[in-house]
């Protein structure tokens, strides 16, 4: 072998090694839908970031987003490779990135609920049947892209009241997140709202809800909701078997403090087919094609 040939081979080997090192140096990035205020999200997901970095052996970073739509866009554009989505945002995101899969969900996400809540001035008590007495009140959803804060409550409003929210209520708003929905209904800015039951339970436990001013009036039937979804090209970017490794890391998460931040009792396996009911409901009310 000539000196020139050896030099070219050595150069190619070094270049390939440098390229490989560069690829592996790229961090694994995830985001989450902004369903609560930003400070809570940062506290929660910076802990998750540290956990995944250790369990995966890959630098893992959390980046916040300002809206549900922004979380979907970040996933589509490969700015993030993993996301904690709601049911609807997950369906939308996976449809935009071929091969993407739901890999884990909270144990509570198999049978999630939305609470319809009302300001005490409405004089309504909790009941088993849909509370048709809310007709004509002011009503706030959460985010426009929320499963528990918009999709499912709108579906039940249409099914039980025979019309769009805009035709049923005096004024319709979108608070942006579940914590804000509770605050708006409690203050009377809106008389009725729809909220994620886990956020309600958490804020009630934290003493942030005054039940003399706001109360639950109806609970929806259960439906599938939040899940972790990963891009279909994750194995190509981070190595064969990486998706399975991420799945196992999430399913093995057992730190009570970390899980309480969601709040979830643990994570269980999930698959895309689990969210067909969400896709079907979204199509039925025109939120997706």
Per-residue pLDDT of 57-81, as tens digits, reads 999 999 999 999 999 999 999 999 9
Q: Tell me the C-alpha distance between 269 and 260, whole Å.
A: 19
pLDDT of residue 209: 97
Torsion over CA of 142, 148, 150 and 155, rounded to 10 degrees? -160
Can you give the pLDDT at residue 2? Answer: 52
Candidates 266, 111, 267, 259; CA nearest to 197 is 111
238: enclosing H helix or E strand: helix 234-238
Question: Any idea what DSSP says for residue 252?
Answer: T
Mean residue pLDDT across the chain:
90
Helices (H) and strands (E) in the chain, counts: 12, 11
Query: Is residue 149 predicted with pLDDT exceeding 90?
Result: yes
Q: Work out the pLDDT band at 164, boundaries 50, 70, 90.
A: very high
The 8 Å CB, 24+ separation contacts for 208-211 are 208/182, 209/182, 210/186
pLDDT over 50 at 10, yes or no? no
**Per-residue pLDDT at 215:** 98
Tell whether domain 3-109+224-275 is in CATH 1.20.120.1460: no
CA 123, CA 133: separation in Å to the nearest integer? 10
**CATH 3.40.190.10 domain locations along the chain:** 3-109+224-275, 113-219
Confidence of residue 16 (pLDDT cuts 50, 70, 90): very low
Q: 113-219 adopts what CATH topology?
A: D-Maltodextrin-Binding Protein; domain 2 (3.40.190)
């Amino acid at each position: 072998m000539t000196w020139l040939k050896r030099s070219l081979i050595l150069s190619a080997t070094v270049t390939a090694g440098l390229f490989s090192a560069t690829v592996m140096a790229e961090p694994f990035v995830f985001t989450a839908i902004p369903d609560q205020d930003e400070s809570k999200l940062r506290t929660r997901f910076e802990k998750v970031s540290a956990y995944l970095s250790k369990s995966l052996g890959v630098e893992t970073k959390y980046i916040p987003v300002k809206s549900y739509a922004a979380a979907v866009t970040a996933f589509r554009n490969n700015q993030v490779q993993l996301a904690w989505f709601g049911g609807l945002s997950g369906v939308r995101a996976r449809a935009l990135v071929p091969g993407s899969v739901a890999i884990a969900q909270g144990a509570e996400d198999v049978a999630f609920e939305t609470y319809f809540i009302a300001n005490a001035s409405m004089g309504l008590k909790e009941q088993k049947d849909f509370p048709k007495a809310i007709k004509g009140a002011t009503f706030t959803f959460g985010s426009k892209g929320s499963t528990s804060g918009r999709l499912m409550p709108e579906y039940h409003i249409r099914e039980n009241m025979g019309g769009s929210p805009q035709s049923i209520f005096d004024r319709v708003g979108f608070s942006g997140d579940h914590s804000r929905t509770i605050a708006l209904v409690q203050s009377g800015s809106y008389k009725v709202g729809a909220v994620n039951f886990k956020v309600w339970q958490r804020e009630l436990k934290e003493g942030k809800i005054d039940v003399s001013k706001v109360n639950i009036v109806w609970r929806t039937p259960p439906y599938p909701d939040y899940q972790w979804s990963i891009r279909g090209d994750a194995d190509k970017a981070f190595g064969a078997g990486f998706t399975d490794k991420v799945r196992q890391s999430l399913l093995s998460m057992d730190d009570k403090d970390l899980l309480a931040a969601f709040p979830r009792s643990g994570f269980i396996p999930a698959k895309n087919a689990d969210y067909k009911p969400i896709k079907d409901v979204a199509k039925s009310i025109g939120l997706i094609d």
